[in-house]
Amino acid sequence: MDYIKQHFVNLTKEEEMIAIAMDKGIAGVQEVAADVYDTLGDGFNRSMRRAYSYAFDDDEYNLIHTQDSRLVSAISKFSFNYNPIKDIVNTYIELVLIEKSESEVKSIHDKLLKKLGKSAKLATKRLTKMVIIEAIVESLYQTILFSPAVRKNVKIVSNIAYTAIGGYGRFEQASIAAEELRWNNPYFYWKLYGKGIEMLYFIPKPKLEKGLYLVNGKNTDDDIVSTIIDLIVG
């Protein structure tokens, strides 16, 4: 089990999520101290907006409340059998290749293998579209696992205690990332929303965002190959 999945399984398999966050979140915060100041500011801002909107703006309050609830719900989906972050990557690749035929996907796979070699874990004996998608997803996900920016986002989520302003800042950053995705790539957003995992997009966002333009199904094979290579090795 990779560290992202293990991290969230550990976080959600206990009933006392707040206790876990307060007990184990400190190490993550210390490791990414430079990020804490931004997180604290975002947390304070979100806390103030929630408090103000509770009294004066029902729509704003309901939006914040819904986003917060959906983030907690998305985190709770992590289990030994399901990894929402990997599902986000899978959804992305499926949308990128949605209009490609079986032969076109095989051609893309061949080009990726030639440029990246077997080290990218793209090799597969069965060359069906589904299997090739799984191979690409696995290769990209492994890259995401080792991204410093992604690790930072995962660790800070440890500090998810509702009473901790710093932890609440991550709610704000998650909501901003989700809203940006909704405006910039609604098709991808609503696919994730339907699975209840759009609020977790902020975690792989540092790696995926530069390839979002592919989610329209109208790109050449070479465009797809070059972008996937950039996502994997960039």
Is the pLDDT confidence value at 181 over 80?
yes
Q: Which two tokens stand for residue 139?
A: 């290769």
Domain range for 212 is 79-233
Q: Are 191 and 217 in contact (CB under 8 A)?
A: no
Residue of 180, 91, 94 whose CA lies nearest to 132: 94
Lowest mean pLDDT among 42-51, 70-79, 135-144, 172-181: 42-51
Neighbours of 135 (CB within 10 A): 21
Is the pLDDT confidence value at 130 over 60?
yes
Residue 166 is assigned to a structural domain of this protein: yes
Give pTM, 2 decimals.
Answer: 0.74
Residue 150 is assigned to a structural domain of this protein: yes
Q: Are 196 and 71 in contact (CB under 8 A)?
A: no
Is the pLDDT confidence value at 24 over 60?
no
Length of the chain counted residue by residue: 234
Residue 18 is assigned to a structural domain of this protein: no
pLDDT-based confidence at 3, cuts 50/70/90?
low
Q: When comparing pLDDT for 131 and 35, which is higher? A: 131
If you average pLDDT over every residue of the chain, what do you get?
Answer: 75
Count of domains for the chain? 1
Residue of 157, 121, 116 whose CA lies nearest to 142: 121
Q: What is the pLDDT of residue 117?
A: 74
AA letter at 7? H
**Apex CA 4: angle with CA 229 and CA 96, to 5°?**
35
Residue 94 is assigned to a structural domain of this protein: yes
Q: How far apart are CA 234 and CA 232, in angstroms?
A: 6
Residue 165 is assigned to a structural domain of this protein: yes
